[in-house]
């Protein structure tokens, strides 16, 4: 009898241990999502332009798999949206419209799950779409919504490189030169993100180019 009780206790302990391991694994960041993130940076900043569209198309399939594997992960939705937005930018024309609509849906779904995920990246990315996509009747672009979304992203990540870069680029697009200069300078002064060296270097290069354009308008 004691042997049976001991055996039963062993199985209970084993089951409890497996449950704890399962909880620990579930709480870890999704590896596929991090792979999508890092591959996106390589394509965006280290891949020749002629090769970017097919590379992003392949990555969009991986991003969809990551999102399907973790449908309640706001980060997976955000990164699928970012990849689709980048693919739309490379494709251009009317063929890009369905991609940006899907990206918008991803960002909106992420906001419902966790508005603060990835330092408010869903707000920032959605704001970027609203000022980069053409307005009605061709697209859903809306400068007022862009400003609103970008400011919400800044509220969550006031010193972040992406939040400040996209807000600065939006202000440049609006010809608000002094404000654009401040935001872009803040993007360039943003702290480094560990493990995001490629993305940080690429974004700083973009910010420097936009800031040079802004300074040229201020000087004139």
Instruction: Check residue 32 and give its pLDDT.
Output: 85
Contact of 85 with 39, CB cutoff 8 Å: no
> CA 33, CA 30: separation in Å to the nearest integer?
5
Over its C-alpha atoms, the chain yields an Rg (Å, rounded) of 21
Summarised one tens digit per residue, pLDDT across range 60-82 is 999 999 999 999 999 999 999 99
Task: Compute the average pLDDT of residues 86-114.
Answer: 95
Task: Compute the average pLDDT of residues 175-188.
Answer: 98
Instruction: Check residue 15 and give its pLDDT.
Output: 32
Instruction: Check residue 20 and give its pLDDT.
Output: 32
Q: Whats the size of the chain, residue-wise? A: 220
Is residue 14's pLDDT more than 90?
Answer: no
Question: Which two three-digit tokens encode residue 181?
Answer: 């200069």
Domain 29-153 has CATH 3.30.420.40: no
**Taking the domains of the chain in order of start, what are their residue ranges?**
29-153, 158-220
Single pTM value for the model? 0.85
């Amino acid at each position: 009898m004691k042997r049976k009780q001991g055996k039963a206790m062993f199985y209970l302990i084993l089951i409890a241990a497996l449950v704890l391991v399962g909880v620990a694994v579930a709480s870890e960041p999704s590896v596929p999502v991090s792979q999508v993130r890092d591959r996106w940076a390589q394509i965006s900043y280290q891949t020749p332009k002629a090769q970017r569209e097919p590379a992003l198309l392949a990555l969009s399939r991986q991003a969809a798999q990551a999102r399907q594997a973790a449908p309640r992960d706001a980060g997976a939705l955000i990164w699928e949206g970012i990849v689709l937005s980048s693919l739309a930018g490379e494709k251009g024309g009317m063929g890009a419209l369905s991609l940006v609509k899907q990206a918008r849906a991803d960002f909106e779904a992420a906001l419902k799950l966790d508005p603060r995920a990835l330092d408010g990246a869903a707000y920032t990315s959605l704001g970027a779409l609203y000022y980069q996509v053409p307005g009605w009747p061709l697209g859903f672009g809306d400068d007022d919504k862009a400003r609103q979304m970008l400011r919400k992203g800044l509220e969550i990540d006031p010193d972040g490189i992406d939040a400040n870069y996209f807000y600065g680029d939006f202000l440049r697009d609006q010809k608000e030169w002094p404000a654009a200069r401040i935001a872009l300078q803040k993007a360039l002064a943003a702290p480094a993100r560990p493990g995001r060296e490629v993305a940080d270097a690429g974004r700083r290069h973009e910010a420097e180019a936009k800031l040079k354009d802004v300074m040229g308008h201020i000087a004139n």
